A and B are shown apart, each in its own frame.
Chain A
Amino acid sequence: MNEVAMTGLALARFVREAGVQLALLLEADGRVIAQHGFVRRIDVATASTLAAAIGATTRELGLFLGDGTLGPIHHGGGDVQLFLAPLPERAPARLLLTVFDARTSLGLVRVFWEDLRNALRREATAQAPSDEDFERELQESLTALLGGL
């Protein structure tokens, strides 16, 4: 199985075991690598971009104050809580953004975050596909988006 499939499975297990509502696995710059849970409830692209901004500003603040290591951040809101944590198994560190409520606890989320880190460490690598109709589809898609120029 390739890396991305493994990542997806590991994240699905995290959501199930930790009892969270949703989890996003992000690159440091906010691009989504995998998502699981009730992701339809939120605008994933916006949530992940804002999460990446938190990650980036926290790291910068850490450096500014003399400690560059980014630990997990917990935001205990009213109904929903956020847990934003680095997955430092590769550089730059990826981020886990997860949303949960009173049906689970911060302690459980932390435990399964550690498990997730271990699972990701064991990932294999993926291979890209090929396609000869690429150029035609590229032009058609660009025209659909931008119109004929």
Chain B
Amino acid sequence: MPVVDYPGREITCKIVYYGPGRSGKTSNLQYIYERVPAERRGAMVSLATHNERTLFFDFLPLELGTISGFTTRFQLYTVPGQAYYRNTRKLVLQGADGVVFVADSQRRQQEENIESLRDLHEALADQHVDPRTLPLVLQYNKQDLPRDLISPPHLMEEELNFRGVPSHAADALTGAGVFETLRSISELVLRRLNATSHAGART
């Protein structure tokens, strides 16, 4: 659940960008960092290797404004996609209020996507999170690449979106679909929080 500070009237939601190595998770955060109003974002922290592969995580805090009288903040994280960082991924995923799954639309990466989606479900199950109730949005990234290299969104949809969650075609380098994706997951996370608080749920 999001961290809710009632006397301080603040809500902090954690959103994790998940997906296989080099699918464009860090690129999503970089685009967001560059394009949101400066007064609404904090410093972006990237713990990466020299060749820019994410080693631990990227972290970007955003301020959404006031909703229901609460200052609402998002903390965006990316996980390292490379297979051997499995434990780090689990760590970063802890306490996530929502997940954006960034898939690589290149055909030769489809196995990687499926493997990573499976990895996500396993990690959630390990943390006793029901993957069916956790807000999830899919992003089909790198749609800018030549057609013979990629699967179009409707095929990605068939391969990956068996739960019928919101999905967006994207090109994280120019930013197409990046804000749409963030908007989608933000809505899911905050609507869920609102619903549970109406139900009198405890945090």
* A residues apposed to B, CB below 8 Å: 2, 4-5, 8, 27-34, 43, 45-46, 49-50, 53, 56, 60, 92, 125-131, 133-135, 137-138, 140-142, 144-147, 149
Contact = CB atoms under 8 A, between A and B. Distances in A.
Contacts of B69: 129, 131
Given A4-B7, A43-B43, A129-B68, A138 B191 contact: yes
B87 A146 contact: no
A8 B7 CA distance: 9
A32 B12 contact: yes
Contacts of A34: 5
Interface residues of B, number: 50
Interface string B175-202: 0000110110011001100101110111
Interface of B: 3-8, 12, 14, 36-37, 40, 42-43, 45, 47, 56, 59, 61-70, 72, 75, 87, 91-92, 94-95, 179-180, 182-183, 186-187, 190-191, 194, 196-198, 200-203
B26 to A, nearest CB: 16
A56 B42 contact: no
A133 B188 CA distance: 16
23 contacts: A4-B4, A4-B6, A27-B3, A27-B95, A28-B95, A29-B14, A30-B75, A33-B3, A45-B43, A46-B43, A53-B47, A53-B56, A60-B91, A125-B202, A126-B4, A128-B197, A131-B68, A138-B187, A141-B67, A142-B183, A145-B40, A146-B183, A149-B179
